Amino acid sequence: MPPPRSLAKWVEPPLDDVVLEKQWSAIRERRGHRRGGLWGWWIGGTSVIAIAAAIAVLVTTREAPLAPLPSVAGATVSSTPGAVIESGPAPIDVRLADGSQIALDPSTRLEATEAEGRDVRFALRHGRATFEVARDEGRRFVVAAGDVEVVVVGTRFSVASEASRVAVHVTRGRVDVHTGRAVHQLAAGETWSGDAVARDEDVAVPSEDAVEESPDRDRPRREGPSASDLFESARAARRDGRDGEAASAYEQLLRRHPRDGHAGLAAFELARIRMDSLGDERGAIEPLERAISAGVFREDAMARLVRAYDETGQDARCRAARERYLRAYPEGVHRAQVEGRCAE
């Protein structure tokens, strides 16, 4: 019979009875306020996760398989490829060796997968998890849900995967959400949602050798920065919190390179900045229409258009945009918010 495996690297010392009772009291209190649907959970307070003690965390590695191990909330778990963290009927809270913390909702499965170098990579198979990532400039922390990847250096964010939908909410810092070849930047307080499987409309960022379409291909190229240069300049400004500069770069891209493959995503990003950072809902309407026509993040753009019309008092257009969204996405993730918009 092989010697018993040491559990010291997986589980911290048990909590005392006083701490356990406090945690269970908090859980009982929270269970009186059940979360609603997917969208309501994101908006309603993602940064608060109930902690459960003395529940099972299944941790496995590529070595000989382990049976389910008794663990406690706050246990240190491995990010070695092949490790599995899975919650039962109650939420759990665990940490990684680098100090990053992960809170799993009930019935959530998270697996550590292959990563390059010092990078950390998890796959969210189902459920909801909130990540507080320790800052480390020398590595990437990636969470995948279907074809959607969330890439971060140091921040707090949540990812939910339910059926074929994925939602990402950022509580602090910034993340990049990768869908196909499109990259969607989120700042603190922002949410992205979409299909778990990338669609053609998500392929919004062209390859480096993509060229701008023009009705006259023999016409000399315009002088000035290229669409790719402007797009990257806008993204860099957005990451640094210089939203005004990012908006200007996107505006210049749309004005100088209206037929370029970056234009649809630039329009959507410009609308988000105007709505969420600059308080310019009216100025977001035209780029939202443009993004919808280009098929870039179409569901999110259509929901935002309803909000923009509603907040600028354009009731008739708001109702038309609302019906347009509901026809296109009768079970859409923004349905409840869209239905509550527009004065009758």
pLDDT tens-digit profile of 177-195? 887 667 777 877 777 777 7
Which of 148, 168, 62 lies closest to 112, judged by CA? 62
More reliable by pLDDT, 294 or 131: 131
pLDDT, position 200: 44
For the domain spanning 17-202, the CATH number is 2.60.120.1440
Distance CA 79, CA 98 (A): 10
Taking only the tens place, the pLDDT of each residue in 141-184 is 889 888 888 887 557 778 877 767 788 888 788 788 887 667 77
Tell whether the model's pLDDT for residue 42 goes beyond 70.
no
227-339 is a CATH 1.25.40.10 domain: yes
Taking only the tens place, the pLDDT of each residue in 201-247 is 443 333 333 334 333 334 444 568 888 899 889 988 988 889 999 99
Q: What is the pLDDT averaged over residues 108-125? A: 85
Q: Are 334 and 42 in contact (CB under 8 A)?
A: no
User: Where exactly are the structural domains of the chain?
Assistant: 17-202, 227-339
Ramachandran sector of residue 38 (left: φ over 0; alpha: ψ -120 to 50; beta: rest): alpha
Question: Helices 263-276 and 281-294 meet at what angle, rounded to 10?
Answer: 150
Distance CA 72, CA 92 (A): 8
Q: What's the longest Cα–Cα distance across the chain? A: 79
